[in-house]
Amino acid sequence: MKTLIKAIPLLMASIGFASSALAGVHWGYEGSELPENWAQLSPEYQMCSLGKNQSPVDITGTIKAQIGELDAHYGQTSGTIVNNGHTVQITEKNPNDYLIVNGEKYNLIQFHFHAPSENKINGKSYPMEGHFVHANENGDLLVMAVMFDEGTENTSAEQLLSLLSEQENKPTSFENINIASFLPKDKSYYRFSGSLTTPPCSEGVTWIVLKNPMTLSKSEIDKFAHAFKHHNNRPIQPLNGRIIISNE
């Protein structure tokens, strides 16, 4: 539980509680609140322009290294789904899904979606990107990103979308949905250091981007896009000498 308590303030700031009384200044993707202006909206958001290890990035010039396979323990989960005004977010009730990366355990706390994708792979953008936000017992964050192409429907996405309220900030509960179905069988990945892609753009986040995309049907992508109302992807940020490692 220690993990979650430490990670929660950061996560709340990152996922759109800014519009409530809980946290800072409102931000968005359009008009005067667009990403290029985030750092000017509040001193708390200064990393959005001062940071040198910002996300998202275009994944190019990768270096192969023996960093081991990704060990994902995802299964049936219960929780809530909400349109928080920035994204559609799923939060686990009793976090019991986790990843083992380099022998370190990271518990899944929440996941959410961006359309189009935020990261690119060799210049290629995808219709959607899922961000699975994890924390280890020290509260260090790790985001595992999964790209989505248009194609076959995803049954778990269908189940979740059917429960999504039309109203913003109105969470609905769900029980026993299999979230392993959001992950490809082949979990080859890229790894690099980055930041939250939303204010306060905090750095020190480990990013794992899976190489193999999954699919969502056109209707599922349209439902997400309808909930977002507009694109919710921060523009690509400079690598500034960062190295992107490929696990094979």
Active site residues: 86
Q: What's the closest the beta carbon of residue 112 comes to Zn ion, in angstroms?
A: 6
Q: Kindly indicate which of the ranges 43-51, 126-134, 176-184, 236-244 contains the residues binding Zn ion, using the contact rule CB under 5 A.
A: 126-134
Cβ proximity to Zn ion: between 120 and 131 the closer is: 131
Q: Tokens 């010039």 identify what position? A: 61
- Give yes or no for residue 134 binding Zn ion (CB under 5 A): no
Size of the site for Zn ion (CB under 5 A): 1
- Give yes or no for residue 86 binding Zn ion (CB under 5 A): no
Task: List the interface residues with Zn ion, window 150-189 (CB under 5 A).
Answer: none
Cβ proximity to Zn ion: between 131 and 223 the closer is: 131
Task: List the interface residues with Zn ion, window 39-78 (CB under 5 A).
Answer: none
Cβ proximity to Zn ion: between 76 and 169 the closer is: 169
Count of C-beta atoms within a 10 Å radius of residue 6: 14
Q: What's the closest the beta carbon of residue 90 comes to Zn ion, in angstroms?
A: 12
Q: What's the closest the beta carbon of residue 1 comes to Zn ion, in angstroms?
A: 24
Q: What's the closest the beta carbon of residue 196 comes to Zn ion, in angstroms?
A: 8
Q: Kindly indicate which of the ranges 66-74, 95-103, 130-138, 214-222 contains the residues binding Zn ion, using the contact rule CB under 5 A.
A: 130-138
Cβ proximity to Zn ion: between 131 and 191 the closer is: 131
Cβ(177)–Cβ(240) under 8 Å?
A: no
Q: Kindly indicate which of the ranges 5-13, 18-26, 123-131, 169-177 contains the residues binding Zn ion, using the contact rule CB under 5 A.
A: 123-131
- Give yes or no for residue 131 binding Zn ion (CB under 5 A): yes
Q: What's the closest the beta carbon of residue 65 comes to Zn ion, in angstroms?
A: 25
H, E, C per residue of the chain: CHHHHHHHHHHHHHCCHHHCCCCCCCCCCCHHHCHHHHHHHCHHHCHHHHCCCCCCCEECCCEECCCCCCEEECCEEEEEEEECCCCEEEEECCCCCEEEECCEEEEEEEEEEECCCCCEECCECCCEEEEEEEECCCCCEEEEEEEEEECCCCHHHHHHHHHCCCCCCCCEEEEEEEHHHHCCCCCCEEEEEEECCCCCCCEEEEEEEECCCEEECHHHHHHHHHHHCCCCCCCCCCCCCCCCEECC
Q: Kindly indicate which of the ranges 28-36, 37-45, 129-137, 160-168 contains the residues binding Zn ion, using the contact rule CB under 5 A.
A: 129-137
Cβ(54)–Cβ(48) under 8 Å?
A: yes
Cβ(226)–Cβ(48) under 8 Å?
A: no
Residue nearest to Zn ion (CB): 131
Which residues of the chain form contacts with Zn ion (CB under 5 A)? Answer: 131
